[in-house]
Chains A and B, each alone.
Chain A
Amino acid sequence: MNAIHLQIPAHADYIDMVRICLFGIACKMKFAYEDIEDMKVAVSEACNNAVLYGFQDADSGMIDVSYEFEEQSLTIKVKNSGPEFMYTDAVGKAAPLQAAEVSDLRVGGLGIYLMQALMDDVVVNTASGATEVVMTKYLAAE
């Protein structure tokens, strides 16, 4: 397996770098345009969660991103240290907007749903004060 690693400060200003790097790798692997767009959003959602919930001490954290590519798949891992984000609770509740009335719509909570909807596999590992989101997309069969 080949891998490219990227480390960014846990700040919203650097999430675009994660997308730019993803774009380069996914293009080289010849992913379809739409699949690349999907992965860009999914990876950003994982980074958003790491930035928003991953660190108590906002200025000190780093996010490690690794892009692991095989012949038919790209796996992106987004890892941050800091308190565990309650992914297990959130994953169970992840759903699209479905209220009958606009006034009943909830704000937020779409990020995890989007990760699941946009990638082929999403696994979250939480252990010893670190959270790692592992997402895989397969190249569509020709």
Chain B
Amino acid sequence: MNAEPFQIIYEETKDQSIIHISGELDLSVVQQLRGALEPVMNRTDKALILNLKQLKYIDSTGIGIIVSVLKLRDEIKAPFFVREIPPSIKRLFDMTGISRYLTEGTEAEA
């Protein structure tokens, strides 16, 4: 098992704020992720996208953050997409029930 360090890469396009997260999202990096989301999650002029392509691990702490972002974006009526969910993570999303509330979105849609 390669314990890959958690990493956040921020990308901004004309109408999207994209946060790419990689490695292991656990309790130790919760503050780091909240910090990265803070400046963009209230913006209504851009869609917020969380790209999970390189994410290797998530547990209830990470899922909890996604739930809170979902709620906030819903409240301010701003788009939020979670993209490229790896199969092992999708399985946990299905199990916890969060899948049902997520919009995957494609490049074309968003």
Contact = CB atoms under 8 A, between A and B. Distances in A.
A111 B64 CA distance: 10
Interface in B62-76: 63-64, 67-68, 70-71, 74-75
A97 B96 contact: yes
5 contacts: A41-B92, A48-B59, A110-B96, A111-B61, A114-B60
Nearest to B88: A37
B39 interface: no
Interface of B: 1, 3, 24, 26-28, 30, 57, 59-61, 63-64, 67-68, 70-71, 74-75, 88, 91-92, 95-98, 100-101
A97 B97 contact: yes
A110 B74 contact: no
Nearest to A114: B60
A97 to B, nearest CB: 4
A64 interface: no
Given A24-B1, A108-B64, 19 more contacts: A12-B27, A15-B26, A16-B24, A16-B26, A19-B57, A20-B3, A23-B1, A34-B91, A41-B57, A41-B59, A48-B59, A98-B97, A103-B75, A106-B67, A107-B68, A107-B71, A110-B63, A114-B59, A118-B95
Contact of B67 (A12, A41, A105): A105
B101 to A, nearest CB: 5
A47 B60 CA distance: 12
A111 B59 contact: yes
A48 B95 contact: no
A57 interface: no
Contacts of B67: 97, 105-107
A45 interface: yes
Contacts of A124: none
Contacts of B97: 96-98
B28 A13 contact: yes
A63 interface: no
A44 B26 contact: yes
A110 B97 CA distance: 10
A113 B3 contact: no
B71 A105 contact: yes
Nearest to B93: A97
